[in-house]
Amino acid sequence: MKKYLFPFLLFGIACQPASDSGQSFSTGAIYEYSASEPRWISFENPTGTPGQGGIENNGAKGHPYDRVAAGESIRLLDINGPGVINRMWVTISDRSPKMLRGLVINMYWDGETKPAVSVPFGDFFGIGLGRTASYETALFSNPEGRSFNAYIQMPFQKAARVEVVNETEKDLDMIFYDIDLQLLDRWNPNFLYFHAYWQRDTATTPGIDVEILPLIKGKGRFLGTNFSINANPVYGTNWWGEGEAKIYLNGDGEFPTLVGTGTEDYIGTGWGQGSYFHSYQGCSVADQQNFQWSFYRYHIPDPIFFKSDFRMTIQQMGGSMLGEVTRMQEAGVPLLPVTINGEPKPLALYDPRKPVRLKEASLPDGWTNYYRSDDVAAVAYFYLDKPMNELPDIQPLAIRQWNLKTVTE
């Protein structure tokens, strides 16, 4: 009988019946039976032990939330495998920008001491810039702007541990959570481990591409990114999103195998970038007044696998008419001219060794692209064939919280 696969499942193999190579953790149809064991992990049953849920307060509502004091951490999950996390839900009493960037969510697989995931709490759940929104995507949702849901499947062979660390100077009075998983009787060697990496550059260097994911070694799959920008007001209201995404695969050298055509193009729109939410691409913040944008792209229907290594960058590039770019250049605004629109294709201007001075060049009037300097941050989500990675540790609190804006929606 033909199997019909659900569109949001990340592993095709996850939908197949059990075999000698390992047990499936989801079925091809909702009416098929699976021998996997469900567990809901929360403060009401932190170990997931059968028959031990909700025992506090004589079976009444006894322990739905807990507290995370300033400088302390709390363990949300510590369980042996094999298994797979299918859903995470969390809500917290303080959803301010400083708390969303000051909390860190760490995930460890198979007893490793270095986390595979170490990301600011809000950014992990798709909340760039510390600004909540009501949205639903293929991987994350925030139904009313007050909770955080993740539907990324996260297999583990030996063990899984999830913790939240409060690196702020303020107590988090209430955290509620629920991690839904399945325990398996065997590990499938085709399963990959989930990883996530976040970094911020508060002032990008014109001409140097922003690294969304530095070079990683191994076999895996790139799942997507959430990207945030505080546009530099020195450029006024000029457009910031001309940069092309670049993906280097399997030994690529100076030039990548995969390359886009522009920032808003990468997330499936064009000629600017407003706010919208789609399953695989969207923009949760498009705030011209405060010079802020936050957007995402998830490569689920268009998978990106890699055999030996992977790296992703994006150019930080803007554009405006020639006269405006010339004016900024003469005023000392940091920029490097790149192209000016022409027929049938743009006229190349970029020479990193000798940047062109637009005022002195004989050029046709037109839209002019240029490298610029902005404050950007990104989360990269990916799978790898090992439970840990060699990426740098998460950046310190001072960088994460620097110049956060509190915006009244």
As a whole number, mean pLDDT of residues 306-331 equals 98
Mark residue 57 as left, alpha or beta (left: phi above 0; alpha: psi -120 to 50; beta: remaining): left
CA distance 329 to 234: 11
- Above 60 in pLDDT, residue 23? no
Domain ranges of the chain: 14-191, 198-316+372-376
Instruction: State the amino acid at position 204 in one-letter form.
Output: T
Ranges of beta strands (E only) in 184-233 are 193-201, 210-217, 220-230
- Return the closest-CA partner of residue 290 out of 233, 356, 342: 233
- Above 90 in pLDDT, residue 266? yes
Q: Which CATH number fits domain 198-316+372-376: 3.30.1370.10, 2.40.50.140, 2.60.120.1390, 3.40.1280.10?
A: 2.60.120.1390
Q: Do domains 14-191 and 198-316+372-376 have the same CATH topology?
A: yes
pLDDT score, position 246: 98
- Cα-to-chain-centroid distance, residue 202: 18
pLDDT score, position 282: 97
Instruction: Dump pLDDT digits (tens) for 301-314.
Output: 999 999 999 999 99
CA distance 357 to 376: 27
Q: Which residue has the tokens 């849901």?
A: 149
Lowest-confidence region among 107-111, 260-264, 403-407: 403-407
> Residue 317's CB: how many other CB atoms inside 10 A?
26
The runs of H, that is alpha helices, within 79-179 are 97-102, 121-124
Can you give the pTM of this predicted structure? 0.93
As a whole number, mean pLDDT of residues 192-210 equals 98
Helix, strand, or coil (residue 26): coil
167 pLDDT band, cuts 50/70/90, is: very high
Residues written for the chain: 409
DSSP secondary structure of 323-345: HHHHHHHHTT---EEEEE--SSS
Instruction: Dump pLDDT digits (tens) for 68-106.
Output: 999 999 999 999 999 999 999 999 999 999 999 999 999
CA distance 306 to 221: 6
- Above 50 in pLDDT, residue 22? no
- What is the side-by-side strand order in the sheet with 210-217? 210-217, 309-314, 245-249, 258-259
**Fold annotation for 14-191:** Jelly Rolls (2.60.120)
pLDDT score, position 4: 31
